[in-house]
Amino acid sequence: MSDFEFGGEFVWFPTPDYVNDSHVQRFMQAHGFADWDALHEAAIEDVGWFWDAMLKYLDIRFYKPYDQIVDLSRGKPWARWAIGGRMNIVHNCLDKWMGTEIERKVALRWEGEEGAVRVYTYRQLFDEVNRTANALRSLGLGKGDAIGLYMPMTPEIAVALLAIAKIGGVILPLFSGYGAGAVATRLADAEAKAVFVSDGAYRRGRIVNMKSVADEALQQVPSVQHVIVHRRVGADIPWIEGRDHWWHDLIPDQSAEASTEVIEAEDLIMIIYTSGTTGRPKGAVHTHIGFPIKAATDMAMGLDLRREDTLYWMTDMGWMMGPWEVFGALILGATVVFYDGAPDYPDVDRLWKLAAEHGVTHLGVSPTLIRALMAHGEGPVKKHDLSRLRAFGSTGEPWNPDPWMWLFRVVGEGKRPIINYSGGTEISGGIVMGNVVKPLKPAAFSGPNVDMAADVVDDEGNPVRGQVGELVIRQPWIGMTRGFWKDPDRYIETYWSRFPDTWVHGDFAAIDADGQWYILGRSDDTIKVAGKRLGPAEAESILVKHPAVLEAGAIGVPHAIKGSALVLAVVLAPGYAPSDELAGELQDLVVAGLGKALKPQDIFFVPDLPKTRNAKVMRRVLRAAYLDLPAGDLSALVNPDVVEEIRRIGRESRR
């Protein structure tokens, strides 16, 4: 086994400052548990007990109490929660704070790439959500109506998200970088009746027009009757009278008082689409009692986000981490930061400057971002006072140890934990996660989230330790998707068809001798060379240790004898140029680390790796482009132009 998979020493240990009065400690003390492991065992043994206790701990309020916490009568894949309860999650995000000290507290801090800043208290956010809810109702929209969100990360997108939920509508988050085809497919599939749009967005100082993209998409979506347009950049945009409404004409004059729709706990709140390798995108179905509760639980029991804390997670509202940070932070009474722009523009210290100036205590990043920023050294970090930082969050991609340690030592000063977090859109949050009461190794997770009955199994479904296996979940949880929109069979086939009553997530994972967990990448990204199974992150971790390598992407390609051969795409650090000599040097590094049997067939240099906005490397796209095969759905990519460049480089490299 490689050093990346297992081993290493613990580098962070909980101190009293982290443990005392943490959410985990308070919850354990309230229920008589001596340690985290005992709590986790009880939580997965009796999921009904745990979620009933967690709803009370989070002070989730119901207009009518539920009669039954969980209903498994249709089997684990179709678990239902808080049966008979009537509620609305927006009541628990905003309404219940009115008349308390929280209403004067900052709920949302926003900064734009151009430098504009706005701050909203809980009362101000409540008022804006009410005005927007009244505006939606004035257009004839209400319970059950699907409404899209196609906007950058401005305060208005949070207001719109909450207003849709307040009236009992269905939120359709759309990645702000989608093209017309991707927007149309998702809006049409959900039969959306309206969509919130910005005229445009700023990206590295340029204006990106969004309204024209939306207009092109809506030619294919006759169900959309209303388009509410927020003026973000002042772009010259097309206009359709009667259908299009300016935000500033429609919303500000509305009343700041609005009723919150009383609905069933299991009523639909959101459909979030994820891209499939083939076929139409999957619409993960979520409810009021599901996604927001799981988000708040993970923030409390993993990140330990307290009321006095401020969370910034670099994301887009089109990915699950956007709604996740809004719902979770507001349920907990904390502050959330939005930034609308590139994290290294106009200079490479923008992220650290943002964290310092907004008093961020919990900073959510991706390994890909840190690999890019660490190339600029410690200087940009040291320019800023990051003393308020308590913890990092991380999701999107497996870590390599070197960038993990750079973040831990340079930015975290060797004392702030990196709370690794891995799950997905259909999970509503994490399967495995770090926390503030257990020690951490580089690139590792403390274990499963407190509510998750996770395991690692072999090809027959038997638990394994000390080796790579499939990540599975054996019990339902409150945030579990209620299936795929209009496609229940696909949901069962995707997650529940391999082992009886067991969710197979599609990630490779491992558990070391000290109980630390590791996610090693998507199992469909796995490379099998002459019978040896290799996770992409193993080979990638070796290459990124070289000073010339900024990023690396590992793929398997067909081989007549071995079945598959290892191929690596390399993004070079500034100041380095591609050469046969460098490729040979990198090839020797892989051989030294993994052995001659896993010698790369090819190492080729690319300008960038295909990535989503939240910095997840799309290895299936990398492989398809290298092999000159159809690349499938590219709508989630932030840099689709790089695909053709990789395709060209791949052709030349294979000659």
104: in domain: no
Tokens 């004059």 correspond to: 253
Predicted pLDDT of residue 541: 82
In a domain, 5, yes or no: no
Residue 296: inside a domain:
yes
DSSP assignment string, 65-100: --SEEEE-TT-GGG-EEEET-EE-HHHHHTGGGTTS
Contact in structure between 355 and 534 (CB atoms under 8 Å): no
Which pLDDT score is estimated for 614?
A: 62
CB crowding 394-433: b at 16 or more within 10 Å, else e? bbbbbbbbbbbbbbbebbbeeebbbbbbbbbbbbbbbbbb
pLDDT at residue 137 above 90?
yes
In this structure, are 274 and 422 located in the same domain? yes
The reply to whether 501 and 532 lie within a common domain is no
Phi and psi at residue 391, to the nearest 5°: -160, 155
Distances in Å between the alpha carbon of 285 and those of 171, 312, 375? Answer: 10, 26, 40
Q: Give the range of the structural domain holding residue 500, as residue numbers without chain letter.
A: 16-96+268-521
pLDDT value of residue 277: 40
> How far is the C-alpha of 602 from the C-alpha of 584, rounded, in Å?
9
What CATH number does the domain containing 243 carry? 3.40.50.980
| Residue 380: CATH number of its domain | 3.40.50.12780
Q: What is the pLDDT of residue 4?
A: 40
8 Å CB contact between 433 and 302: yes
Which pLDDT score is estimated for 558? Answer: 82
CA dist 561 and 389 (Å) reads: 52
Helix (H) or strand (E) holding 572: strand 563-572
1 inside domain: no
pLDDT digits over 511-521, tens only?
A: 999 999 998 87
* pLDDT at 32 (0 to 100): 97
The one-letter amino acid code at 368 reads T
Residues 228 and 303 in one domain: no
pLDDT at 6 over 80: no
Task: Determine contact, residues 254/246, Cβ cutoff 8 Å.
Answer: no
H/E stretch holding 381? helix 379-382
pLDDT exceeds cutoff 60 at 3: no
Distances (CA, A) of 57 to 24, 263, 290, 450: 11, 22, 16, 14
User: What distances in angstroms separate CA 319 from CA 231, 598, 635, one per listed residue?
Assistant: 23, 35, 12
- What is the gyration radius of the CA atoms in the chain, in angstroms? 24
Please give the average per-residue pLDDT across 228-241, as a whole number.
Answer: 96
Residues 329 and 390 in one domain: yes
Residue 508 scores a pLDDT above 90: no
Residues 170 and 224 occupy one common structural domain: yes
Do 607 and 642 meet the contact criterion of CB atoms below 8 Å apart?
yes
Residue 472: the pLDDT is: 98
Q: Are residues 514 and 598 in the same domain?
A: no
pLDDT for position 533: 61
Q: Whole-prediction pTM value?
A: 0.86
Q: What is the pLDDT of residue 561?
A: 67
Q: Are 476 and 544 members of one domain?
A: no
Which residue in this structure is represented by tokens 């967690």? Answer: 54
Is the same domain home to 613 and 637? yes
3 falls within a domain: no
- Write down the pLDDT at residue 593: 76
Mean per-residue pLDDT of the chain:
92
Q: What is the CATH number of the domain that holds 648?
A: 3.30.300.30
Residue listed under structure tokens 């900064």: 111
Q: Which of 231, 258, 285 is the last residue of a domain?
A: 258
Judge if 381 and 432 occupy the same domain.
Answer: yes
Percentage above 70 pLDDT, the chain = 95
Q: Are 5 and 456 contacting, i.e. CB atoms less than 8 angstroms apart?
A: no
Does residue 7 form part of some domain?
A: no
Neighbours of 103 (CB within 10 A): 16
Q: Which of 521, 551, 585 is the last residue of a domain?
A: 521
* pLDDT (tens digit per residue) in 170-207: 999 998 988 888 899 899 999 999 999 999 999 999 99
Asked if 491 and 607 sit in the same domain, the reply is no
Other beta carbons within 10 Å of 14: 18
Q: How many domains does the chain have?
A: 3
Mean pLDDT of 284-296: 98
Last residue of a domain, one of 230, 258, 286: 258
Residues 315 and 249 grouped into a single domain: no
Do 312 and 232 fall within a single domain? no
Report pLDDT for 2.
Answer: 41
- Let me know if residue 457 belongs to a domain: yes
In whole angstroms, give the CA distance from residue 423 to residue 429: 6
Alpha helices (H) in 472-603, listed in sequence order: 488-495, 536-543, 580-594
pLDDT, mean of residues 257-282: 85
Whether residue 116 is contained in a domain is answered as no
